[in-house]
Amino acid sequence: EKLELFWGILQKNTENVVFLITGMLIGMEIQDSSHISWGDFGKLFGLFFFIHLARALTMLLHFPLLKWGAKKAFKVNFKQLFAMSITVLKGPITVVLSLIVYHNDQGTSGQFRALVLFLAFGVTALTICLDTHLIKFVFRKLGFEGLSGIQEKIMLEVTDSLMDHTETQIATLRASKQFPSADWNYVTSLVGSSRLLEETLKKARFGKTILRVHPNVSPENYLQVLDSQFRFSASEVVVEKRRRFFVTLKAVYWETFSKGQCSGSTYVMLRKIANLCLDSTHKEMQDWKLLEHELNNSLLIRVFETFSNLSVFKALCKRIIFYYMRRAYDAAGTFCKCHVETIRILEELEGTGEALELVIAEARLQVTSGTKFIKEFVVDAYPEVVSETQCYQASKAVLVFQRELIQEIFEQGVIEGLEYENLMNFVDQTWKSIKPRRSSKDPSLQEVLKSRFKDSPDTEIKFLCENIKFVSFEQNQVLFGEGQETNCAYLIFRGRVQEESNWMFQELEVGSIVGVLHLLPEFSCTVTSAKAVTSVSAAVLTKSVVLEYLNILKCIYLEASEEVLMYNQEALNLGNLRKECICKVVVESTLKLFKKQDKFSLNSGGFILSGELLVGVAPLFLYPSDETFTVSSEYCIVLEFPFQLGAEIVSTCNCSEGISSYCKKQLTTNFKWQKTKTQSKSPNLTEDPNVTQRS
């Protein structure tokens, strides 16, 4: 914003100087009647008309290309062509060029140079004075400007809601003692609902009709009058809902970019596509088709892959391939996440309705296509691109959190201005220093294990590496079936695996553990089945190796927490709790490990995932209380709830109802937080709520 303000001021000052110099020179030439005569004013108006005519003819010659170009969905019609033909050459560039001609006295007469300056400045002045008003008039007459009928109706419906809230607020203030001497009749006449209604109706075309036909309409009855007077077809409502979707989507794109979760080139590309779609809201959504056209360079990638087999070009070609794949993953991933977030926002704001459901169905179809593209063209073939991009996004997310935390601490007065500036400068410098790498390589087994089991020392990681072997599976090959004896699971290094049972379904990608439940001592047989969706390379984790160290076992339980709760949903009295609520509880809870004879209390409640207490054996739900528990088994794994969730469970006196209430309130809070703090979350890309993705 500061950069834009700087260049805006510089542009205006430059234009003022150019116009001032030109005006002074023209004034001197007019005073010297030998160079500019009154007949030149006629030439000026003739040239002004001729430029409009030439532009219109040029646009008409290009009309077939504009109408039947590459993007047929966004063709130009005659009304738009007429509007584009109105604007002509204008601005300081034209005047600067004429100043150059004016001061070049080689081979040209003074009268010619003065005439060039006069005509250039005159056309610019006429354009600014006449075309500005002409364009507004034409846009208004052709329907390019102003609200449509359905938009006006929505605005008037919003006004009805504002009036209700206004009346409530006035009644609240009147009942309070904050303004005891206020004349509330006078206040109501100034800012009450009647005044709000009247001013809104005056601004709307339909509102003017209502005032003319029903001049004495009351605030209580005007919405009924609106519904009875003006009705719109289902197609008009769908077009408006689609337009609102893309407007909201553009805002979500910007929010994602400002949080560092996509590159600048990705934001520009997605914004351009959203703008194109806004010109075509009468047609079904096809923004993914446009984005895929920008990203799909399969032929080029195959050429570089072929040349990468040659040692001379290997490094260069791999770097180019990595760049294209990272660009595709960043753009497609941002596209899917922002569409899902926009769907959530519209569902929160506008509730339900046939038109909204149709638009959301179209948007979900775009997400499905985008997700399929990511899986088939990036995740399966180039997992290192996924890892590198997510590292970059995670770093930016941490910096955003640091910046917001510093801002909050400063506003609370904990630190002073100089300290605040130093901290912010550090965050800003770190932000600028983080750049995506131009190439990447597959991480080693030791690096992967160290990242996954972060609390384990090097000796434990070395022990794991020595006791792990790699296996490969072909596409559609079964890794294991349900009900088989097993003592291992698979850490995916390349490819995708589908794991399912009658109680869960998930598609796992690089970095995920397939069959993680089977590493826990409570499971001696498989409770799920798994099949390779693509060719898979994986490391085999055996139960005996995992149980060797408690630090590793704790990480395995953290990985398996969602599956443990889903599998024991009936035993824990979770009823028909939705899968996304269980996932949310796991994400926001804290996993703790206690050893034998350790004592602990759960003030906010929690689940015992493994182990034995004096009061019972896992799986077990512990109600929020101050009671102290003692571990009677070798170890005990506890999932402790956050404080807010514990409070909800206490208020509802039921675990399942408390979790449902907590999730609903968190959704509302997150939405309000986003609207006030402009902070958006990265939703799950999966369309099916029963599918959990890890990466």
136-158 residue pLDDT tens: 888 777 777 666 667 776 776 67
Question: Which of the four pLDDT bands, split at 50, 70 and 90, describes residue 690?
Answer: very low
Q: What is the DSSP string of 342-410?
A: HHHHHHHHH---HHHHHHHHHHHHHHHHHHHHHIIIIITT-HHHHHHHHHHHHHHHHHHHHHHHHHHHH
> What's the rounded Cα separation, in Å, for the pair 695 and 683?
14
Flag whether pLDDT at 676 surpasses 50: no
Cα separation, 9 vs 7, in Å, equals 5
Mean pLDDT, the chain, as a whole number?
82
Asked whether 601 and 573 are in contact (CB, 8 A), the reply is: no
Q: What is the pLDDT of residues 47-102, one digit of tens each?
A: 888 888 888 888 888 877 776 654 554 567 777 778 777 765 567 787 888 888 88
Comparing 84-88, 402-406, 416-420, 470-474, which segment has the lowest mean pLDDT? Answer: 84-88
**How far is Cα 64 from Cα 49, in angstroms, rounded to an integer?**
25
Evaluate whether 628 touches 600 at the Cβ level (below 8 Å): yes
SS (H, E, C) 45-83: HHHHHHHHHHHHHHHHHCHHHHHCCCCHHHCCCHHHHHH
Helix H or strand E segment including 499:
strand 497-501
Average pLDDT over residues 379-385: 80
The per-residue pLDDT for 673 is 39
Bigger pLDDT: 68 vs 557: 557
Q: How is 110-156 classified by DSSP, letter by letter?
A: HHHHHHHHHHHHHHHHHIIIIIHHHHHHHHHHHT-SS--HHHHHHHH
Query: Cβ(22)–Cβ(111) under 8 Å?
Result: no
Give tens-digit pLDDT for 162-219: 777 888 888 888 888 778 888 888 888 888 777 777 777 777 666 677 767 777 766 6
d(CA 459, CA 480): 31
Q: Which of 584, 566, 564 is nearest to 575 (CA)?
A: 566
* pLDDT at res. 73: 47
Domain with CATH 2.60.120.10 in the chain: 445-554
Amino acid at 687: E
3-state percent helix, strand, coil for the chain, nearest multiple of 5: 60, 10, 30
Q: What is the pLDDT averaged over residues 269-290? A: 90
3-state helix/strand/coil string of 185-241: HHHHHHHCHHHHHHHHHHHCHHHHHHHHHCCCCCCCCHHHHHHHHCCCCHHHHHHHH
pLDDT at 573: 85
Cis peptide before 683 (omega within 30 of 0): no
Q: Which long-range contacts (CB under 8 A, 24 or more apart) does 292-298 make?
A: 292/369, 292/373, 294/269, 294/331, 295/327, 295/328, 295/331, 295/332, 295/373, 297/324, 297/328, 298/377
Cα→Cα distances 251→271, 328, 345, 662, Å: 9, 21, 11, 28
Given a contact cutoff of 8 angstroms between Cβ atoms, the answer to whether 562 and 572 are in contact is no
pLDDT, position 677: 41
Neighbours of 580 (CB within 10 A): 14
The pLDDT value recorded for residue 557 is 92
**CATH number of the 568-677 domain:** 2.60.120
Q: Tens digits of per-residue pLDDT, 603-615?
A: 999 999 999 988 8
Confidence of residue 359 (pLDDT cuts 50, 70, 90): very high
Span 520-537, pLDDT tens digits: 988 989 999 999 998 899
Q: Tokens 């996993």 appear where?
A: 591
Q: What is the CATH number assigned to the segment(s) 445-554?
A: 2.60.120.10
Report the range of poorest mean pLDDT among 493-502, 587-596, 653-662, 670-679: 670-679
Q: Is the pLDDT of residue 683 over 90?
A: no
The structure's pTM equals 0.65
Distance between CA atoms of 646 and 263, rounded to whole angstroms? Answer: 40
Coil, strand, or helix at residue 178? coil
Is residue 211 within 8 A of residue 202, CB to CB? The reply is yes
For residue 674, pLDDT over 50 is answered with no
Contacts (Cβ under 8 Å, ≥6 apart) of 590? 639, 640, 642
Q: How confident is the model at residue 240 (pLDDT cuts 50, 70, 90)?
A: confident
Q: Is the pLDDT of residue 623 over 60?
A: yes
**pLDDT at res. 592:** 93
Helix axes of 383-411 and 417-433: crossing angle, nearest 10 degrees: 170
229 pLDDT band, cuts 50/70/90, is low
* pLDDT band at residue 692 using 50, 70 and 90 as cut-offs: very low
- Alpha-carbon distance of 639 to 356, in angstroms, equals 39
Is the pLDDT reported for residue 342 higher than 50? yes
Task: Give the pLDDT score at 351.
Answer: 62
| pLDDT above 50: residue 682 | no
Q: How far is it, in rounded angstroms, from Cα 572 to Cα 639? A: 13
314 three-class SS:
helix
For 429-465, write each residue's pLDDT tens digit.
998 888 877 666 667 788 888 888 888 888 889 888 8
Examine the pLDDT at 594 and tell me if it is beyond 80: yes
Which residues lie closer than 8 Å to 391 by C-beta, 6 or more apart? Answer: none
Tell me what the mean pLDDT of segment 105-114 comes to: 79
Quote the distance between the C-alpha of residue 254 and its chain's center. 7
Burial of 550 (0-12, 13-18, 19+ CB in 10 A): middle
Higher pLDDT: 599 or 675? It is 599
